Amino acid sequence: MLNEILSDEVKAIFDAMREGVNIIDAEGRIVFANRRYLDFLDTTAETIVGRPLKEVRPGARLPEVLRTGKPILHAPRQETEDIYFVNMYPISMNGAIVGGLSMVAFKDDAFDFREELERYERRSKQVLYRINKNNAAHYTFDSIVAVGENVKAVKALAQRAAVTDAPVLLASESGTGKELYAQAIHNASTRRGEVFVAVNCANFNAGMMDSELFGYVEGAFTGAKKGGKIGLFEAANGGTLFLDEVSEMDMGLQAKLLRVIQEGRFRPVGGVEEISSDVRVIAASNADLRQYIDTGRFRRDLYYRLSTFQIRIPPLRERVRDIPALVEVTLADLSIKLKRSVDITPEAVAALMEHDWPGNVRELRNVLEASVYLSENGHITREALPSHILWGGAEKGLPLSQRVRTFEREEIGKLLARYGSGLEGKKRAAAELGISLATLYNKLGESGSKIQESSSKI
């Protein structure tokens, strides 16, 4: 039957093709092979036509197509140095399978598959190396200080969320340690051995964020890199993606994010084929997403999808009991960083506990680091703390004039600690402040001797 179809004209068309063509009948016998296929086997038509394909090619899968009636597409094969891809189709007539056709695409005729795959693999490894190097998840739940009951409850909720694979939304103010929690959740999950990627959505416009998350294909736009770019959803496959400030993501891109979270598939910028990705998403926002929803700036369905577990990390002003422990941990880190011992007086800790901390834990660390540099021999006293901490602490509620006098005494005390409390030290302090020596003595007033005495001890 197939021989009747394979006229000389049809055979001539097949022989003109650069792909190898092989046709078998319903019994699996070879009825035709074009010139490219014969050259590939280094044989002749007289040698193979009429023989079972399994005798000629023991590993051939075309007989499988006869049994199943289903095509096999893009099957990669390699023999010695030859790399090729095969598409195999059943041939049907009047509802019955009468044969099968295989079409072999050789790498030299299409493009260099090996070099392309190697380039892609190298690029993937480079991306993953940078991700692992710069975004490795170092923190665990042991890194989270939790003394107050409210923080203990939040930490416990995060630990319960970690053992699931559900999305997590960290809703809290800036500087509260959202990435610390994200890393801890990743490291306590089944994905802990995989990649952790953090990206701040506020750092990119809509177009840049699209290509950053989902990548792009070659030629997608002017200036696109040759070979395209891998997006973070592809690079982080199997791991965790932390989206900080997700509230600032473009509305159109929010729809694409919702789809990839729900279906695990996305299309790169300029691409046609979809890519599968198994990524856990942890999002964070210091904005009120419910308010954003009401004003049309955030998708309600994405909010509900992200907030399977919604965790609110208390700001530092709501976890005052944690401050001494946070100070201890931070100073231990600074000791390692500065390669010298640093400590703090109880009076200084008490002043820190009186501050409102609008910048939260990040502000606390910055204050402690600055105070270490201002202190003598790494010993942080109350006088070494920045003046705005003192103003917002023990001086809170005092009249403005008294706050000013306190500030002036603190600044004079710091200069006397630097230059000495003797006459020459006072002269240098007065000169730096742009006041006379008499004015300096006047501002010291009755507290002058105390400041001089404490300055000599620092």
288 phi-psi bin (left φ>0, alpha ψ -120 to 50, beta other): beta
Query: So what's the pLDDT on residue 226?
Result: 62
Which CATH number is correct for 2-106, 2.60.260.20, 3.30.450.20, 3.40.50.300, 3.50.50.60? 3.30.450.20
Residue with tokens 């502000």: 363
Q: Provide the whole-model pTM.
A: 0.60
Phi first, then psi: what are they for 253, rounded to 5°?
Answer: -70, -30
Residue type, 339: K
DSSP one-letter code for 376: B
Q: Which residues are registered as beta bridge partners of 284?
A: 170
Residues paired with residue 91 on neighbouring β-strands, in sequence order = 99
Q: What percent of the chain has pLDDT over 90?
A: 46
Q: What is the DSSP string of 204-230?
A: S-HHHHHHHHH-B-TTSSTTPPTT-B-
Would you kindly state where each structural domain of the chain is located, as residue ranges? 2-106, 117-311, 317-457
Distance CA 206, CA 213 (A): 11
Contact 260, 276 (CB under 8 A): no
| Beta carbons within 8 Å of 188's beta carbon, 6+ residues apart | 140, 141, 159, 162, 163
The tokens describing 3, both together, are 């021989």
Arithmetic mean of pLDDT over the chain: 83
CATH tag, 117-311: 3.40.50.300
Q: Which amino acid is at 38?
A: L
How would you write the pLDDT of the chain (458 residues) with one tens digit per residue? 677 677 888 888 889 888 889 999 999 999 999 999 999 889 999 999 999 999 999 888 999 999 988 888 877 776 655 667 788 988 887 778 889 999 888 766 555 555 554 555 545 544 444 444 455 678 999 999 999 999 999 999 999 999 999 999 999 999 999 999 999 999 999 998 888 999 999 988 888 888 889 888 766 665 556 667 788 898 888 899 999 999 999 999 999 999 999 999 988 888 778 888 899 999 999 999 999 999 999 999 999 999 999 999 999 999 999 999 999 999 999 999 888 899 999 999 999 999 999 899 999 999 998 888 878 788 899 888 887 787 654 445 556 566 667 667 777 877 887 787 788 888 888 888 888 888 888 877 634 444 343 333 33
> What architecture (CATH level 2) is domain 317-457?
Orthogonal Bundle (1.10)
Q: Could you give the angle at the alpha carbon of 280 between the alpha carbons of 235 and 197, nearest 5°?
A: 45
Q: Give me the pLDDT at residue 93, please.
A: 77
pLDDT computed for residue 452 by the predictor: 40
